[in-house]
Chain A
Amino acid sequence: MSMQVILAQALLGLNVGVFYAMLSLGLAVIFGLLNIINFAHGAMYMLGAFIALIGYSLLEQWFGISLQIGFWASLLVAPVIVGILGVLIERLMLKRLYELDHIYGLLLTFGITLILQGLFANYFNVSGTPYPGQPEALSGVVNLGFMYFPTYRLFAIVFSLVVCFATWWVIEHTKLGSRLRAGVENPDLTQAFGLNVPLMVTLTFAFGAGLAGLAGVLAAPIYSVSPLMGADLIIVVFAVVVIGGMGSIMGAILSGLALGLVEGLTKVFYPPAASTVIFFLMVLVLLFRPAGLFGKEK
């Protein structure tokens, strides 16, 4: 097997990995402050992709608005819309469940997933609709020296990495981040110091949701946009989160990237196992390091 094939698959794997990283980062940020797992994270990723698709090609046909939201604008518009949906979900529903067992949060967001998925399945083909709005500047391929790689995919990798590490930096190295970490550590005490913890919770949930929406927009030109695109992904991301442990932000990012890479390389060496390799790695981690690679057991 030539080195080129392996490198190519590794890069494609990294491309999947950045989506895992963005989603598991969002899950980890939300889990840190709210102690719930957002099952709807996959549905929000799907929603992001659909907002980009509808904004580009269906606004006139559906709503009679002669406006086209291009790819670059979608990168801003979709996360904002998904974030607003996140605010609504948190304020109207999740907020009332904090006193209860955390599994109710999971069940609620599972119900929301079914609703979102079902709604889009009514209007769009389950096998997927291609997103036509990939910008001209990002079409074609770039010569990386050892291979030609699609420009758009390279852009998606770099862009996602920047977003992930910027998030990490904000949380670990800014005043805002230190307040957030205080809220994670001890919400009651943080509130007593005069910080508005409920608002922080809402905005954190909205931010995590927006991150999922952003990942959806980035994924739209690569994969076809389909109502089921988030559901299949989110279960893998759950396994990523179990492997990484949700104790650290950097852990969530790194395990996402690494597992995408592993999945990509499995495609080269033993293709049938590509869809299950992450789950088997999860089994190994549970056997030998149950708290996860970067995890602290709560």
Chain B
Amino acid sequence: MTNRILFVLMLVAGLTAPLFAYPVFVMDLLCFALFACAFNLLLGYAGLLSFGHAAFFGGAAYITGYVTKEWGFTPLLGILAGAGFAMVLGAAFGFLAIRRQGIYFAMVTLALAQIIYFLALQMPFTGGENGLQGIPRGHLFGLIDLNNSLTMYYFVFAIFVIGFGIIYRTINSPFGEVLQAIRENESRALSLGYDVDHFKLLAFVISATLAGLAGATKAIIFQFAALTSAHWQTSGEVILMTLVGGLGTVFGPVVGAILVGALSHELSAFGSWVQVILGTIFVVCVMVFRRGIIGELQRLVSRKQG
């Protein structure tokens, strides 16, 4: 029930956002929100900490940029190509990473993602440190001009809602229940007859694909695939967003992405102090605020009811 109200609120806020905020900035936040939701599916529901999600986010951006710029793909097709790449990459990384557990899983994903980072830095088509520039926004279905930032905004918002919907359905399905069972007690899930590795891999692939969807969309918005999107610091940022908003909550990552995104934007004049501040928030969250904003709110509400 609460979720339904919150969802309607989010829709209204999203549809009216361009009236009171700069559309490009909101689009950026939407991409990060989708990215964080995809990440949360893995850590919040399956209990798997991936420290390499930047590879899917950044990798998809490069692929989308390349196929729309060099092969003349339409924007939608380009975004799908990017997300498809993230899906394949997710299957490969997931297959390798689930062979180790816990803390090793995090290290393996981080190291694998670093391969993508170096490829993005060294391959001939990626533009090295400058990133892949001059990606066309193009026309949606060959008809609707996306160079208009309002049209672009609603296109991005539609992608966000679809991605969010997929994650919501996944969490609230029998599949999602099994994921949570694995998070709570992996050996018990295994002894109940669930093929744990199969579930983990599928969760990893879905999460990677949607992270790729977010990165691909971002490349079209900014007409630019940035090397920083594939850097480990981006993987860290998405963890922070999810943690601040609330791990394992439906709307937490959205709230966290908006907060952290807005904060980084506001503080961008302070240079490296941004990093110090984000690091401090990280430490504070881990030490005393592990439920995150939405998690704490939920606790307050349920305490009042109980």
Residue of A nearest to B236 (CB): A110
A31 to B106 alpha-carbon distance, docked (Å): 14
Residue of A nearest to B93 (CB): A283
Structural contact, B271 and A282, CB atoms closer than 8 A: no
Any B CB within 8 A of the CB of A170: no
Structural contact, B290 and A114, CB atoms closer than 8 A: no
Query: Which one of B79-87, B111-119, B251-259 is at the A interface?
Result: B111-119
Query: Which one of B165-173, B207-215, B275-283, B295-303 is at the A interface?
Result: B275-283
Cβ contacts under 8 Å, B290 to chain A: 100, 104
Structural contact, A96 and B287, CB atoms closer than 8 A: yes
Structural contact, B107 and A238, CB atoms closer than 8 A: yes
Contact A111-B286, Cβ < 8 Å, known A103-B103, A238-B107 = yes
Sorting the interface of chain B by its residue count into under 10, 10 to 19, 20 to 34 or 35 or more gives 35 or more
Structural contact, A121 and B107, CB atoms closer than 8 A: no
Structural contact, A282 and B108, CB atoms closer than 8 A: yes
Q: How far is the CB of B246 from chain A (nearest CB, A)?
A: 15
Most buried by B among A111, A113, A272: A111
Contact with A along B90-112 (1 / 0, CB 8 A): 00000011011011101110111
Contact with B along A279-291 (1 / 0, CB 8 A): 1101100110010
Q: How far is the CB of B190 from chain A (nearest CB, A)?
A: 15
Cβ contacts under 8 Å, B282 to chain A: 107-108, 110-111, 114
Any B CB within 8 A of the CB of A143: no
Interface SS of B by simple majority: helix
Of A35, A112, A121, A286, the contact of B283 (CB 8 Å cutoff) = A112
Any A CB within 8 A of the CB of B175: no
Q: How far is the CB of A34 from chain B (nearest CB, A)?
A: 11
Structural contact, B118 and A111, CB atoms closer than 8 A: no
Cβ contacts under 8 Å, B110 to chain A: 235, 238
Structural contact, B106 and A122, CB atoms closer than 8 A: no
Structural contact, B103 and A118, CB atoms closer than 8 A: no
Structural contact, A115 and B283, CB atoms closer than 8 A: yes
Interface size on A, residues (CB 8 A): 45
Contact with B along A88-117 (1 / 0, CB 8 A): 000001001100111110111011111111
Contact A241-B275, Cβ < 8 Å, known A103-B49, A107-B286 = no
Any A CB within 8 A of the CB of B243: yes
Contact A117-B275, Cβ < 8 Å, known A238-B111, A239-B111, A279-B112 = yes
A114 to B287 alpha-carbon distance, docked (Å): 16
Contact A114-B275, Cβ < 8 Å, known A276-B115, A282-B108, A287-B96 = yes
Q: How far is the CB of B213 from chain A (nearest CB, A)?
A: 25
Q: How far is the CB of B304 from chain A (nearest CB, A)?
A: 26
Any B CB within 8 A of the CB of A201: no
Cβ contacts under 8 Å, A119 to chain B: 272, 276
Any A CB within 8 A of the CB of B122: yes
Q: How far is the CB of B272 from chain A (nearest CB, A)?
A: 4
Cβ contacts under 8 Å, A115 to chain B: 275-276, 279-280, 283
Any A CB within 8 A of the CB of B157: no
Contact A114-B276, Cβ < 8 Å, known A103-B106, A276-B118 = yes
Structural contact, A286 and B99, CB atoms closer than 8 A: yes
**A residues in contact (CB < 8 Å) with B:** 31, 35-37, 93, 96-97, 100-104, 106-108, 110-119, 121-122, 227, 231, 235-236, 238-239, 241-242, 272, 275-276, 279-280, 282-283, 286-287, 290
Q: Apart from A103-B103, A279-B115, A286-B97, list 17 A-B contacts with CB within 8 A.
A: A35-B103, A37-B103, A97-B287, A101-B47, A106-B49, A108-B287, A110-B236, A114-B276, A115-B275, A115-B276, A117-B279, A118-B278, A242-B108, A275-B122, A276-B114, A283-B96, A286-B96
**B residues in contact (CB < 8 Å) with A:** 47, 49, 51, 96-97, 99-100, 102-104, 106-108, 110-112, 114-115, 118-119, 122, 232, 236, 239, 243, 271-283, 285-287, 290
- A sample of 19 inter-chain contacts (CB < 8 A) reads A37-B103, A93-B287, A102-B103, A104-B286, A107-B243, A107-B282, A112-B283, A114-B236, A114-B276, A115-B279, A115-B280, A117-B279, A122-B272, A231-B232, A242-B107, A242-B108, A275-B122, A279-B115, A287-B96
